[in-house]
Homo-oligomer: A and B are copies of this chain.
């Protein structure tokens, strides 16, 4: 396993408890006949927000009136196998590490139980007006743990 964000793959894999099912759309394929490489990041976002909603961690952050919003600091994806139209991707997501105002979020996408995508990315909570980082509140921290 060359992915530096995964120490023990089997342990890492078992640690996911939340996932969303995503059917590959025809418009997400490209002329090579498979899922275009830009699309997994759309799936990452869908799964990530699904988890944040499930945990109720961001309050009204996903609205125009939000004071504090989560922004993506970095993203990476490893493509372990091609994904095709007709596939349903089970997109797993978890909080892997929590910082003061940031979080490291990990992703795994499987098709019929086979891992096709792994990934990670840091998220930072910022003030929507100033753009400055905002520390997680105690209640947010409790929801994540």
Contacts and interface: CB of A to CB of B under 8 A. Distances in A.
B26 A29 contact: no
A101 interface: no
Nearest to A74: B78
Interface of A: 23, 25-27, 29-34, 36-38, 41-42, 44-46, 49, 62-64, 69, 71-79, 82, 85-86, 128, 131
What is the predominant secondary structure among interface residues of chain A facing chain B? mixed
Given A29-B30, A31-B64, A45-B37, A79 B71 contact: yes
6 contacts: A25-B46, A27-B37, A31-B31, A31-B32, A73-B78, A75-B76
Given A31-B64, A33-B64, A41-B37, A79 B74 contact: yes
Complex A-B, nearest 9 residue pairs according to Cβ-Cβ distance, in ascending order: A76-B76, A37-B72, A29-B31, A38-B41, A31-B33, A74-B78, A33-B64, A27-B36, A38-B42
